[in-house]
Amino acid sequence: MADTSARTLRLLSLLQTHRYWPGTELSERLGVSARTLRRDIDRLRELGYPVEARPGVDGGYQLAAGAALPPLVLDDDEAVAITVCLQAGSQGAGDGLAEPSIRALAKLVTVLPTRLRRRVDALRAMTVSTGWNAVPLSDVDPAVLTDLAMTCRGEERLTFTYTAADSRASTREVEPHRLVSLGRRWYLVAYDLTRHDWRTFRVDRLTDSHTTGIRFRPRELPAPDAATFVRDGIGSRRTGYTVTAEIEAPALDVHSRVGRWCIITALPDDRSHIEMTVDNFDWPILLLGKVEAEFQILGPPELVARLAEWGARFSAATSRV
């Protein structure tokens, strides 16, 4: 029975990739006959999984969308990745997503294996919320985030290779402090033992990290918290564009929709002023569209030109409908 159950879970995991599987390939992967595969497929259907079958010599199987959400089978990396995203969504997500994110996070953490729960708990404890960050989209392996979080909590020195913005690589030895998600990226705040000062490191530029086995006594961070330290450091060296606009909507309404991505100031007559610093103009255009209110761009002129390009493209698309 145990072998049958394990094989069924393996079959479900393969089907949940949502690709079409030829029957012969599935049989080979599971090491069973076509007849046994059909019985396993029937078993999944009895459990509520809508498995579609294509008959014939070249027939196969694919998991279809069902009327209800059946249990999912996740590997370790997938479970950690979902937990990371749910945590980010529970910290200030708009549009009513915060409460569902918290409920889903509680359910997932409850059923995580002990080895994963320790890593996820470390990530939750060692990550500082900025209050206005979006879900980070930088190319960072969730396993790397949990490893860094474990090192922060364990107060153990860390070495890694770091590639700066000018593509120069260097080896660093640090005392890790906290992880911060800000501006759709992850950052590690740490005391750099080579520079003898506090530094902020983008996690997506960090490779070959290893703990040294040397414990340290935490130093006092020269800022109220890690998020403030990162935000101030980025602001002092940013070379992007400062976008400003006035929106025909109350500040509270604007904040509920996009408050975690920009600075909002209330204006008379239920209007709002927003300001944000960006490296390209596509993101603020999406943000302004999300507000769902009339607006006027104050600067820079390049954003006005970029918005005109978007408008022309969308107008052309709607004229063909």
Mean pLDDT, contiguous 10-residue spans, the chain (321 residues): 70 78 90 90 84 83 68 70 68 55 67 75 72 52 83 92 87 93 82 92 91 92 88 66 91 85 88 85 88 92 90 84 62
Q: How confident is the model at residue 1, as a pLDDT?
A: 38
Q: What local confidence, expressed as pLDDT, does residue 98 receive?
A: 58
Amino acid occupying residue 162 = Y
> CA of 145: how far to CAs of 24, 76, 81, 149, in Å?
39, 13, 10, 6
pLDDT at res. 206: 92
Two tokens, residue 22: 């030829």
pTM: 0.53
Long-range residue pairs from 217-226, CB within 8 A, at least 24 positions apart, any chain: 217/155, 218/155, 218/175, 218/177, 219/175, 219/177, 219/191, 221/177, 221/189, 222/198, 225/128, 226/128, 226/177, 226/178, 226/179, 226/180, 226/189
Helices (H) and strands (E) in the chain, counts: 11, 13
Assigned token pair, 283: 């993101």
